[in-house]
Amino acid sequence: MRQIAADKPDFVLITGDLVYVGSNAADWRRFDRETESLRQAGVRIVPVLGNHDVRGGEPALENYFHRFPELQMRQVTVNGHNISLAQPQRWYSVRYGNCLFLILDSDTDHSPASAQGQWLNTELANVPKDVDFVFVAMHHPPYTQSSEEMGGHSARPDEQPLAQMLEQRQSTLRARIIAIAGHVHNYERYQHGGVMYIVSGGGGATPYKVRRNPNDFYRDLHCGSRQAQRSGAQAGNAGRPAAFSRSR
């Protein structure tokens, strides 16, 4: 984190599992210490909720939103006036130059008929014309060659309708869709239906074994060293920070 802070990116996106147990105050204090250099450098953190972050129910979410108060308010327009409503945002959007980031909560229902699924569909149907790239960030990956049999995580059925929605939208969208996920402790990169899928979950614990097939743009057996330095409470972090800066 100190090296990222020294590079002074405009913001850092973390693909979930910021802590090991979301309701554990000690885990969040460790997160605070590990990200202090980012705050001191004025680098914004764009978080994605992971399954570890919501462990413990409501206290876990209280800890999460306490660190990200900007996600506790929602802007609405009423009779031409902008009004801020106190409504915690588990999914949200961020505009950055010619990029649009759509941040999802894959621990909440995100099927097409759900509130989150309808929000995503509306966002994709109304991508501004000056957006060239749409990054859809979530914790659980739609595609991965990891599996429980190999000591990792398999892709869940829950993300398949999401992938179908993204690929259907990509067929008519000028902007390029890139889906970024964590959860799996390794790095993978695939292309399906015109959508680029990236798994970037190497931020904590020892990398999972992943079967590399010809469809994976990344062919190394492991992401980083075989003995990854532990990061986060009990090495629970499964989101690798992605730092973004404007071209200068």
Is 10 in contact with 244 (CB distance < 8 Å)? yes
Residues in a beta bridge with 187: 200
Span 131-160, pLDDT tens digits: 999 999 999 999 887 777 776 787 788 999
What's the pLDDT score for residue 45?
94
Q: 219 or 142: which carries more pLDDT confidence?
A: 142
Average pLDDT over residues 49-71: 94
Domains (range + CATH), the chain? 2-72+82-244 (3.60.21.10)
Statement: the pTM of the whole predicted model exceeds 0.85: no
